[in-house]
Amino acid sequence: MYKNNKIVIWLSFSAFMVLAMAVIGAVTRLTESGLSIVEWRPLMGVLPPLTEGEWRRVFDLYTQSPEYAQEHYWMELSDFKKIFFWEWLHRFWGRMIGLVYAIPLCVFWIRGHIPSGLHRRLVLLLILGGGQGMMGWYMVQSGLIDIPAVSHYRLAAHLMLAVLVFSGLIWTILDFKTAPVQCKGMYHGGISLILLLLTIMWGAFVAGLDGGMIYNTWPLMGDTLIPEEAVYFYNNPAGAQFVHRWIAMIAGVSILTFALRLKSWSLLAMVCLQIGLGISTLILQVPIALATLHQAGAFILLALLLKNIHKTMQKSL
């Protein structure tokens, strides 16, 4: 267990910003805004267009994209500005996360405030954060060629890198705030974590394939429990939804029993709420507000699960 309140505040704010990034990313996806900016300008793209001429330039670039040609050909500049905002905010927020994390890291490092053994971990989180941003642009590129839809594999990689950064931040915060205790259940918690991560990953597949827009019933999918398309479990909307459904339920049972084992009522309540959000989002055909809450809920559930797994660790730091 380490001691430094300033570092805890810095890491906590960084983790909150990653959570907010996931929420903004969900809105960007759900409003079909992700392909509105068709160029990558890491420095000059910090500010949105400030003149009418610049707005016209970025809109003209968008009109050459397959999304405009096939889906948004009816858009005027005023319509374009609405979807542009969310993608710009998503990218801007990612840049701000980088600054909020990197600048204090340098200051704490120079002043010698970082405890021994944490330097590599903190640098690795910085590298992963940069990689997550690059993966975001690599993801966008997949929707700028012929088909106006990003690769669901790249979308999943983009999301899972964010999950990895968030998890690393939460775990490091826990190393500062709580000392692990000798408590049974570490393996149970580890299995629950793997199942939750698989659930989140398949949720990204569902989002990338628009799998939430079909089979909007529960627990049956149409008239059956297992649709014929379920055999194509990773490259088909129905199959991705089927796997996401049932991995989520298995993960839910595992986390629920883990919460009962540790008497963590907050974790128990959160897993029940997250399952409810998931089912409601599906039945109501993915309304933006519910779907966004469902994504945020996944990150909050992950944080609570990590907190309880941390308690079960049997070695002191």
Show the domain range for 184.
Answer: 180-317
- Same domain? 128 vs 239: no
**Whether residues 191 and 279 fall in one domain:** yes
* C-alpha closest to that of 101 among 195, 16, 214: 16
Domain boundary among 148, 177, 206: 177
pLDDT of 280 reads: 97
- pLDDT tens, 43-58? 767 889 999 999 999 9
**Residues 225, 141: one domain?**
no
From the first residue on, what is the mean pLDDT of each consecutive set of 10 residues in the chain (317 residues)? 81 97 96 92 82 94 93 93 95 96 96 91 96 93 89 95 97 83 80 98 94 93 88 85 96 97 96 97 96 97 96 61
HEC sequence for 187-252: HHHHHHHHHHHHHHHHHHHHHHCCHHHCCCCCCCECCECCCHHHHCCCCCHHHHHHHHHHHHHHHH
pTM: 0.93
Domain count, the chain: 2
- 196 lies in the same domain as 299: yes
| Residues 302-311: tens digit of each pLDDT | 999 999 999 8
Q: Same structural domain for residues 240 and 266?
A: yes
Residue that terminates a domain, selected from 135, 157, 177? 177
Residue 265's H or E segment, with its range, is: helix 265-283
pLDDT in tens, 110-129: 999 998 889 999 999 999 99
Mean pLDDT of the chain: 92
Q: Are residues 249 and 169 in the same domain?
A: no
